[in-house]
Amino acid sequence: VSASTSVSRSLRAAGQFRPGCSVASAAKCWYPSRVKVDGTHRRTIAASPDGRAVDIIDQRRLPHHFVIERLTTMLDVARAIREMWVRGAPLIGAAAAHGFHLAMLEDPSDASVERAHRELLATRPTANNLRWALDDMRQSVLGIPPDRRAAAAARRANAIGDEDVAINQAIGRHGLKLLSEVHRKNPSKRIDILTHCNAGWLATVDFGTALAPGYIAHDAGLPLHVWVAETRPRVQGALTAWELAQEGIPHTVIVDNAGGHLMQRGRVDLCIVGADRVTSAGDVCNKIGTYLKALAAKDNGIPLYAAVPYPTIDWTLDGGLDGIPIEERDPEEVRTVHGADQSVRLFPPGSPVANYGFDVTPARLVSGIITERGVCRASREGLLSLYPERGG
């Protein structure tokens, strides 16, 4: 029995696949919601029942406290994105869409459309999903009378959320084939993935990107273990660890600098990371430290994949380091560590501190891009093979 056949069988047995589905035909398959907190399914973001606000999980409080916040104005949403109550490129895009809708409820004029676009876009510079969602929202209301704009914006914001979930499920299905292949080559060994930052369900509306293949593999009974890089300074690894614990997936937290050591010792089969912006040449901009993981992976012959929904691809960029705005955040995030019970200052108060949010991993260090349309090489040709409509 091939690994992929046994994956299909176990998924069917677990009720995750519609009858008749196989890994090969997984595009038509259905999966339940992933976001699971103490056994209850939900999405990370949703319009309030009366449609006049948006409910989010306040990620600043995790993993120690699970708190839902209700945001009622566009400026509330802008603040939540800027201060990382919500974070992760797909979720930032979805949140901005809901913020845009709240702006239309307050004032549907042309001036308000432009103001909402401007204010929300200014919150964080790096994730392509933010501009993508805002351009889409603006497009959805321009050309229709102001009194119908709020309803149109609500529909579009909800659709962006639904689409994000579908995209991420497809990424999971395509990425599953990579994990099945690792398992097929060495069925007696656990599959060791290394990931960086958080690209699980918390960073999206649901299902995650880089962690999506792992959720499905775990459901299917594949012996999965995840090395979770701590990801200083905001310690998004704590979010990944919390999610994996909610899922019951075996994992181990490591400090960021331990990745290379584990790779040298043969303890990592595959690295899978998320992305905030990918150039049309396949360069991957992701959370600071991804580049160092990619260098270590290359030196040790370990594949590194980026899981990338289409709104993350910036087709206006040809490649290289120059075009991507790299966020620099408040030095205070580096100086102070916030724990469950207290905050600790780490460095001499007089020492200058720099806080870069992202780095760019050149395409030559990326083994492939996992998208909702399939897996391709990290190159212009590779991306165009999946998105031919983007070719000249």
Residues facing residue 228 across a β-bridge: 195, 253
Tokens of 39: 């056994």
- By CB under 6 A, tell whether 287 contacts ligand MRU: yes
Q: Which of 16, 128, 140, 286 binds ligand MRU (CB under 6 A)?
A: 286
Tokens of 299: 């030196």
- By CB under 6 A, tell whether 88 contacts ligand MRU: yes
Stretch in the footprint of ligand MRU (CB under 6 A) among 199-207, 333-341, 348-356, 382-390: 199-207
Annotate 149-206 with DSSP letters as a single string: HHHHHHHHHHHHHHHHHHHHHHHHHHHHHHHHHHHHH-TTS-EEEEE-S--SGGGSSS
Q: Is the peptide bond before 331 cis (omega within 30 degrees of 0)?
A: no
Closer residue to ligand MRU (CB): 80 or 275: 275
- By CB under 6 A, tell whether 199 contacts ligand MRU: yes
Stretch in the footprint of ligand MRU (CB under 6 A) among 30-38, 196-204, 253-261, 378-386: 196-204
- By CB under 6 A, tell whether 277 contacts ligand MRU: no
Query: At its nearest, how many Å lie between ligand MRU and the CB of residue 215?
Result: 13
Closer residue to ligand MRU (CB): 151 or 326: 326
Q: Where are the alpha helices (DSSP H) in 285-329?
A: 290-299
How many residues of this chain bind ligand MRU (CB under 6 A)?
16
- By CB under 6 A, tell whether 235 contacts ligand MRU: no
Is residue 382 left, alpha or beta, with left meaning phi > 0 and alpha meaning psi from -120 to 50?
alpha
The answer to whether residues 242 and 62 touch, using CB atoms and an 8 Å cutoff, is yes
Among residues 276, 283, 314, 359, which one is catalytic?
276
Stretch in the footprint of ligand MRU (CB under 6 A) among 41-49, 251-259, 272-280, 371-379: 272-280
Q: Which of 213, 357, 368, 382 binds ligand MRU (CB under 6 A)?
A: 357
Question: CA dihedral defined by 238, 197, 263, 211, rounded to 10 degrees?
Answer: 90
Tokens of 246: 């909610």
The answer to whether residues 368 and 379 touch, using CB atoms and an 8 Å cutoff, is no
Residues 57-86 that bind ligand MRU (CB under 6 A): none
Look-up of token digits 């012996």: 223
Q: Which of 74, 90, 214, 281 binds ligand MRU (CB under 6 A)?
A: 90
- By CB under 6 A, tell whether 237 contacts ligand MRU: no
Residue 276 annotated to the active site: yes
- By CB under 6 A, tell whether 197 contacts ligand MRU: yes
Closer residue to ligand MRU (CB): 10 or 355: 355
Which residue number has the CB closest to ligand MRU?
274
Closer residue to ligand MRU (CB): 152 or 363: 363
Long-range interactions of 133-137: CB distance < 8 A, separation 24+: 133/92, 133/93, 133/94, 133/96, 133/97, 133/100, 133/160, 133/311, 134/96, 134/97, 134/100, 136/97, 136/160, 137/96, 137/97, 137/100, 137/101
Looking at the annotation, which residues are catalytic?
A: 276
Q: Where do contacts with ligand MRU occur on this chain (CB under 6 A)?
A: 87-90, 197, 199, 203-204, 209, 236, 274-276, 286-287, 357
